[in-house]
Amino acid sequence: MKKWLRRTALVLLVLGAALAAGSYAYLQHPKFGALPEGESLRAIEASPHYVDGEFRNLIDTPMRTGESRGFVGNVMSMLFDRNPRLAPDMALPSVRRDLKALDPEEDVVVWLGHSSYFVQVAGHRILIDPVFSTEAAPAPYLNTAFAGTTPYTADDFPEIDYLLITHDHWDHLDYPSIAALRERVRHVVTGLGMGEYFRHWDYPAENIYEADWNSVLELDPDLRIHVLPARHYSGRMLTRNKTLWVAFALEAPQRNLYFSGDSGYGPHFREIGERLGGFDVAALDMGQYDSRWANIHMTPEEAAQAALDLDTQILLPGHAGRFSIAAHDWDEPFERIVKASEDQPYRLVVPIIGEVIRPDDEFQEFSRWWATDSE
């Protein structure tokens, strides 16, 4: 009996060691990136938003709210509490425009699904949080894109003047997409600590700009890139809040554009709107909301209020239409934002993924494309 127990213990020990070694080896994959060090870490430690070894939101932001079951419980709920309408039952419509053929002097915005956007403003080409992969997670099948929602690849894009990354979550910082874009990106702009990912992924250090909240970059005379506060958190795998999550505003002579990245509702929207004088277009987080994490993503109704706070002329969707992270119906954010935007002073625009939006064309029309799943 004792011999059997010793053998069983040895087998379990060997299996545990193999699992630990395999896990360690897997975590060395470049997609996990690297933590800030050196000059980047010194800049982080000098930030007033970095306290006791981590970045903090401008206002108190408990991660868990409502009926939160803790991190593991929430993950298990997302995996096994299966709302039958988490994903559409057919491929969603999308279009694949020839982006290289666009007049570079025309101001346009192209929603690429979820929180990815291609922007032309003042003659500059800008890509925000590009995710061309069908998986936005560290392993397959954890966060798979809806069918039909990934019409573009890195090869479809012209040379990019500015690659803007809001934070390091998998649905915003996609290693295969970033690696595929490397040879066509002129500058990378992101939050403090985020540059370590790009240096780790062989982007030239001199092309990477890391900034704190309320910083302004003027790398070209006709474009100001504002790096702005958001209400969220960061963390690629086992660590949290070691890099800064941000929003962006693009200020050009004839155009002001705003991209919230991931953000819960807060007073920062009104402050930004008042300080920057309103926006022509604002793309706002309005999906993947849940009572268990109510502080870090907006409901559609909160996004409608944020649009008013920002004094935007056009409101675009964000964080919806490609991945299912929360328990609500996949198309619920679109239905709710349509209702919340009735009789509002801004114009709601919900394009098909890949369609070219022209801010100056007030007569440009878009269909209720998401309704095809329920009709």
**Category of 118 on φ-ψ map: left (φ > 0), alpha (ψ -120 to 50) or beta:** beta
Order of all β-strands in the sheet with 117-121 = 208-211, 185-191, 160-165, 124-128, 117-121, 108-111, 356-357
Domain boundaries, the chain: 99-360
CATH code for the domain defined by 99-360: 3.60.15.10
Higher pLDDT, 373 or 76: 76
The backbone torsions φ and ψ at residue 47, rounded to the nearest 5 degrees and listed phi first, read: -75, 135
126: closest CA among 176, 179, 165?
165
- Express each pLDDT in 8-60 by its tens digit: 555 555 555 545 444 444 555 788 888 898 889 999 999 999 999 999 999 99
Reported residue count of the chain is 375
Residue 160: strand pairing partners: 185
Chain mean position to CA 304: 19
pLDDT band at 139 (very low <50, low <70, confident <90, very high): confident
Instruction: Give the model's pLDDT for residue 13.
Output: 56
Cβ contact 234:244 at 8 Å:
yes
What one-character-per-residue DSSP string does 128-156 give?
Answer: ES---SSB-SSSTTSSBPPTT-----GGG
Least confident of 71-85, 343-357, 361-375: 71-85
272: closest CA among 288, 284, 290?
284
What is the mean pLDDT of the segment spanning 344-357?
A: 97
Q: Between vectors from CA 210 to CA 204 and to CA 211, what angle results, nearest 5°? A: 160
Q: Is the pLDDT of residue 68 over 60?
A: no
CB atoms within 10 A of CB 131: 25
pLDDT band at 141 (very low <50, low <70, confident <90, very high): confident
